[in-house]
Structures are given as C-alpha cells and as structure tokens.
Amino acid sequence: LSYPEKIDIRNCEKEPIHLIGKAQAHGVILAVDPKTFKIIQASENTLKFFGISHKVLLNDGLESLIGKAAFEKITTAIDQKTGFKAEELKIGNKHFIVLPHFSEDHLILDFEVLGEYWEPMFLQQQLTNIINGLDSNETIPNLCNTAAKLMKSIFGYDRVMVYRFDEEWNGEVVAEEKEEHLESWLDLHYPASDIPSQSRNLFLKHKVRIISDVNYEPVPISPYLSQITKKPLDLSKSTLRGVSPIHIEYLQNMKVGASLTAAIIVHGKLWGLIACHHYSAKFINYFQRETCKFLAQVFSNNIASIQTGIFNKKFSENSELRAKILADLKIENTLGEGLENAKIPFISLMESGGGAVVLDDEIKLFGKTPTEAEVKDLSDFLAENEEIIFYTKHLKNHFSAAENYKKSASGILSFKLGRANNNFIIWFRPEVAETVSWGGNPNKKLTYNEEKQRLSPRKSFEKWTEKLDGISNSWQDYDIETAKAFRENLNQCILKKQKEEISRLN
Ligand code: BLA
C-alpha cells in the first residue's frame, strides 16, 4: 500500500504509519547511505535548525555537517557493532542531540534540540522517587494510581492516564491524574480501533513517543523515495516520525495540544499505555523521555510481579479445592454422578454462574446454565473445535445460538475429557451488565457537532458500548491453569476406572 492512499476511519489498520514520509517539526531527520556516508534524504526544515537548506545538504557528506568527533563516534559504533549512543553536538552555534539508528539499509539520524537540562542530582532524585514510589504498591489499581501521580509530578502534563487493554485491545482508563479544571475520564472505555494494531506494534519497539505540537505543519522528507530501497523511509524507530493525520484529527477534536505516550509491556505483550495530554504544545527532551522509559519499565515489572503473586495465590487455593473434590469421587459412580455428589461443587473452582458435565451422552447441569438441549447443541459445536481447552467471554461471537442464553452463558470455559472428542467439562459465566458511563453529561449534546466529532472519544465510546452485548467477565490465566490441572486430575480418574473395569472383567 503506498502512502498516502485513501485512509479513513474505516480502514485505519491499513495505514502504513511507518512510511509516512514526514517529520514532526521539532527536529530534523537525515537518512545517510552507510557505505558512502552521504546524506541522501532530509526533512525540509534543515534551514531552520542548521542554517543550511536541505537542497544543499543532499549528497553532501555527513562529516562536514556534524564534525569529526561525532562522525567518528558513529562510525566506530558501526565498525565495532556496539550499538549507537545519543551524542550531543553543535551545529553552527546551536546544541543538538543526535539519535542514530539503522533502518533497512539506511543510517537514520534524528536531531533534536537539547531542551531543558536536568541537574544530575535532580535526575537521581527522580529515579529514586520512581523506584520507591512504584515498589510500595500491593495491588494493580494502587500501582496505576502511583504511576499516574509520578508521571504528572515529573513531566507536568495536564492530564495523565493509565490506559489498560483487554484481550480484544479495547481499552479503559484505569487511573488518572489531572489538572483540577479538566473533566475526568477515569473508567472510560475505548474501542480497539482508536489505537490500531500497527500503532500498538510500534510501541513495542520505540516504547515512548511524543507528539510535541498537535497543530504542527508536517515536514516532508525529501526526496520522498529512498534511492537505496526505492521506497519511503521506514521511520518505525525514528523519534521524529510524523503523525497519522487521523490521529491528529482525533487529538484536535479533544483540544489536545501535545501528547506523551509510554508503553507498559508485561511479559513481552502490550498491557497498556501511559497516555499524557497537554493543552498546549509541549516538548520533553531525550533524557526526560529516557526517564519516562525507566518509569514505564519499573511500572511494567511491578505489574508482572503483582500478577505472579495473584496467580500463585489463586492457584494454590484452587489446588486444595481440587484435592477435596477428587477425594469425594467414588470409583463405583460415573464421573457425572461423582461430581454431582461431591461436597464441593466443581463449578466453585472458578468464578462462574454454573457448569455442565457432558459425558457419554449424559448431561449433568450445575447452577445457572442454558437448557439441557442447548448444552447438547453447544457440545456438538465444541466437538468440532480442535482445541482441547476452549474459552471465550463472548460465546455468541463464535456460536450464534448462544444469543438465546447469553444471560447465563455469555462466557464459557470448557475442556475435552479423556480421549473422546465429545466429552466436556464446562463452566458458564453470565453476561455482565457493565455499568459504564460516559464521564460528564451524555445528554449535553447542544454543543456536539456530529461531523466534527466523528473522531473523538465520545464517538468511540458510543461505538464501544454497541459491542457490550453478550459479554462476560474475562477468563484469567489462573482460571485456565486450574482447568488444565483439573482436566489432568479427571483424566487420571477415568484411566483408573478403566483399569479397574478391565481387571474386573478378567
Ligand atoms: C494512535 N490513538 C493513538 C495513540 C493513542 C490513541 C494513545 C498513540 C499515540 C501516539 O502514538 O502518541 C488513542 N488516546 C487514545 C485514546 C485516548 C487517548 C483512546 O488519549 C483516550 C483517552 N484513531 C481513531 C480511529 C483511527 C485512529 C477511528 O480513533 C483510525 C481510523 C488511528 N490512532 C490512529 C493511528 C494512530 C493512533 C493511525 C497512530 C498515530 C501515529 O503513530 O502516527
């Protein structure tokens, strides 16, 4: 897909934002051929920053622009494959920081102004505050609140949000720290399409991104196509990559003037974002962004360790319950009868409204469930499924008949028993009547301009609420591990029974 192809709000996922061919206006992007060290592409704002027009720079050697010392550091890093460091340097009488990286067959250099200087002592204090502040939280909500507070106090954005993704990449604002006069967006939900997958994937790479001035004039990179690859430059790792016009429109509709976004990555997966808004232009420099990266990293590690603690606790509680249930299973009963007679119902192994045992065409129901006939149909559907363990919080998405019993079974977790394909243990989760609401007054539509607001959190919220139908609470990793372990236990029981029967027959 070439850029700019017609991208609108229906095909966001397709926008190749890494090939945008534009820079943000707060710095200069140069592309250098690493064989000749000639500048082959440049953002068209070099006159403003370096006092030299981009036309003059093109085909010039890099060394004459950045000086011998900086040039040597960069070439040494290339020779020794040591990885680049940010370098401070002077061009004319201006101080810059240059951030080199490789992209395909180009050496890309991002030049930014040095910006606000933090004394080492101040920096050290911030790092200590980050570690101490974040380490002292025992729950994820507390941790998120602390992270938002720290971000606000260190970087001073008007609004700081911790934005958490669900399994389908919808998001929710789970913590917020803001200037008092702003309306709160805490607890608001947004659909996955607001941050399309290519944007989320980039966050795994660059981790922190600023948009320093939402109302900026995008700076073209000239020439648009690289002479090496005959394609636009891949700016995935450039800190100065221009912003998708769609996202700019979104921010403008929110009246936001600048943003800082940091990735929260837990076990290699994007868990959420720290999203900061400012209501005028705002630049934070490279060193400050590194501090932000550090904060996000400590935050992420703490989430991982709290999650592990929760997992271990739940799993060990469940192990005890499982042991009790198994102790009650009598060899002379069928498994269905055994689970029916056990003092502890198996459905209590995890949060659920009800459950079913489907075994050798016999169905036993526990708690709140669909009818027996419906469970029979459902198990026919499950039998066709390859997976041994199947779970969803949105069953009717997979199996439309589930519309009829979404009240009791919007979500299911099931596993296949033994070697047969049509024996199951199933847990059901009821539909959650989510009490989500739009912050502020949803009826105050007087000032609401449909066309202008087509890309705005309020529109997104409407889109998101439409999707709420027939959804249960999510299955957690400890639920899934419990199911696996219980399956193992029951399979052992089945084997034992089969063995006894065989020995009886002999
Ligand atoms: C990017 N959208 C983003 C980003 C955020 C959001 C945080 C990353 C910002 C960045 O890269 O700096 C969304 N921001 C939010 C949300 C809140 C917020 C939900 O503050 C809630 C408070 N966006 C849309 C639609 C499309 C879209 C409908 O709403 C597509 C049709 C696209 N969003 C879009 C794109 C990007 C983006 C393409 C990447 C921007 C870029 O990196 O150039």
Q: Do 114-308 and 19-112 fall under one CATH topology?
A: yes
pLDDT at residue 461, rounded to an integer: 63
pLDDT at residue 1, rounded to an integer: 44
Residue 440 has pLDDT above 50, yes or no: no
Output the residue whose Cα is nearest ligand 1's atom 4. Answer: 195
Token readout for 288 is 């400050």
Amino acid, res. 301: N
Distance 188 CA to ligand 1 centre (A): 15
Q: What is the ipTM of this complex?
A: 0.96
pLDDT at residue 443, rounded to an integer: 41
Per-residue pLDDT, averaged over 502-506, amounts to 82
State in Å, rounded, how far the first CA of the chain is from the last one: 70
CB-based contact 427:347 (threshold 8 Å): yes
Of 16-20, 118-122, 268-272, which has the strongest mean pLDDT?
268-272
Token readout for 302 is 């703490």
pLDDT at residue 189, rounded to an integer: 81
Q: Does residue 259 line the site of ligand 1, with CB under 6 A?
A: yes
Say which residue the tokens 């890093």 belong to.
77
Token readout for 228 is 């090496």
Peptide bond between residue 141 and the one before it cis (omega within 30 degrees of 0):
no
pLDDT in tens, 105-161: 999 999 999 888 889 999 999 999 999 999 988 999 999 999 999 999 999 999 999
pLDDT at residue 274, rounded to an integer: 98
Mean pLDDT of the chain: 90
Q: Return the CATH architecture of domain 19-112.
A: 2-Layer Sandwich (3.30)
pLDDT at residue 10, rounded to an integer: 66
Cα distances (Å, whole numbers) of residue 205 to 92, 240, 263: 33, 14, 9
pLDDT at residue 446, rounded to an integer: 38
Output the residue whose Cα is nearest ligand 1's atom 20. Answer: 275
Fold of 329-431+470-505: Beta-Lactamase (3.30.450)
pLDDT in tens, 31-53: 999 999 999 999 999 999 999 99
Contacts of 501 (CB under 8 A, 6+ apart): none
Q: Does residue 247 line the site of ligand 1, with CB under 6 A?
A: yes
Residue 489 has pLDDT above 60, yes or no: yes
Residue 188 has pLDDT above 90, yes or no: no
pLDDT in tens, 429-439: 999 865 554 44
Q: Domain locations in the chain?
A: 19-112, 114-308, 329-431+470-505
Number of CB atoms found within 10 A of residue 46's CB: 25
Q: What's the rounded Cα separation, in Å, for the pair 162 and 262?
A: 10
Burial class (CB in 10 A: 0-12, 13-18, 19+), 463: middle
pLDDT at residue 97, rounded to an integer: 95
Pocket test for ligand 1, best of 5, 14, 18, 195 (most atoms within 8 A of CB): 195
Sign of CA dihedral 22, 28, 33, 39: positive
Residue 194 has pLDDT above 60, yes or no: yes
Report which of 390, 382, 344 is spatially closest to residue 363, judged by C-alpha positions. 382
CATH assignment, 114-308: 3.30.450.40
Q: Does residue 17 line the site of ligand 1, with CB under 6 A?
A: yes
pLDDT at residue 503, rounded to an integer: 86
Output the residue whose Cα is nearest ligand 1's atom 24. Answer: 194
Q: Does residue 456 line the site of ligand 1, with CB under 6 A?
A: no
